[in-house]
Structure 1
Amino acid sequence: MGSTTWKPPPTGWWKVNTEAAIAERHVGLGMIVRDNIGDVLMSGGKKLDVAIQVLEEEVRATLFGLRYAYDAGFRQVELETDCLNLVTLLTKKSNENSTSQMVVKDIFVVVNLFEACIFKFPKRLCNMTTYSLAKDSLMFDEVLIWMEECPHRHCSYCR
């Protein structure tokens, strides 16, 4: 099953953690990109003004993280999300009859741009910093991206 501690990617790879948080009719998306020693290279957040299902929140957070990671030049990534249903959809390339499936197809389009992209399922505990960033994103009025830092106070010790 999922890992219980955050693990760095291999040398030459980058780890993209994504997460979503919901509050009433808003969804906060968060993403953090780290290198093989755990240093934050990029982080970001975005608020969506929609009410959607949990799986679709996570799918949109993953698409958000992958798009920005690609745009920043990261080409070999491990994508981690604590949504097991999403990891199953992405690794088995299975289909389901849902609105989430349309966004999953968009993820595959972006994934094909990378040299390599693998999907992993960590326990929620490993993704708490990204979850906190997603929660904070509920207050954002625009997409915010930070290079080589994360605005969340736990980044320095909670990977």
Structure 2
Amino acid sequence: MEPLVPPRVGAQAAFWSHPALGIFKINFDAAMHRSGEAGVGLIARNAHGEVLETACFYIGLATSPLVAEALAMRWALGMARDLGFRRVAFETDCLVLFEAWKRSGGCSI
């Protein structure tokens, strides 16, 4: 299995761009209500921009927005594995999560 491409964040992720041929792209995000309840969503596309999968998931209570974003990424990683994607680019709007992923060197699914 090939290493995953690190997620993009912030201004880089403001406009969606096609991944290279042979790479799937998953955009994911979390949303948190002031009550502490959170949910996540994702969209997976191929190099032609065709939507291959969309999904959302109710997390329940999350201790912080960062925890909700991290749970969203963990869920997106699992979805990529379940969908049989071998090479995946992830995009997030969470700079802290992006920096942590970058420091860790990514992972293989």
TM-score range, shorter chain: 0.7 to 0.9
Q: In the alignment, which residue of structure 1 is the partner of 2:5?
A: none
Amino acid of the structure 1 residue aligned with 2:32: I
Which structure 2 residues correspond to residues 113-132 of structure 1 after superposition, within 5 A? 113=109
Question: By how many angstroms is 1:60 displaced?
Answer: 0.5
Specify the SS of the correspondent of 2:18: coil
Q: For the pair shown, which has the larger CA radius of gyration, 1 or 2?
A: 1
Gaps of 5+ in 2: 1-9
More helix by share: 1
Assess if the C-alpha contact under 8 Å between 2:36 and 2:64 holds in 1.
no
Q: Identity, % of aligned pairs?
A: 32
Assess if the C-alpha contact under 8 Å between 1:15 and 1:78 holds in 2.
yes
Q: In the alignment, which residue of structure 1 is the partner of 2:87?
A: 76
In structure 2, distance between residues paired with 1:80 and 1:39 = 16
Cα RMSD after superposing both structures = 1.6
Which structure 2 residues correspond to residues 38-117 of structure 1 after superposition, within 5 A? 38-93=49-104, 111-113=107-109
Question: By how many angstroms is 1:26 displaced?
Answer: 1.2
Instruction: Return the match for 1:7 from 9, 17, 23.
Output: 17
More strand by share: 2
Q: In the alignment, which residue of structure 2 is the partner of 1:29?
A: 40
* Residues 54-104 of structure 1, C-alpha deviations (whole Å, 9 max, x = no match): 11111100111110111111110001101011110000129xxxxxxxxxx
TM-score, with length taken from structure 1: 0.58
Specify the SS of the correspondent of 2:96: helix
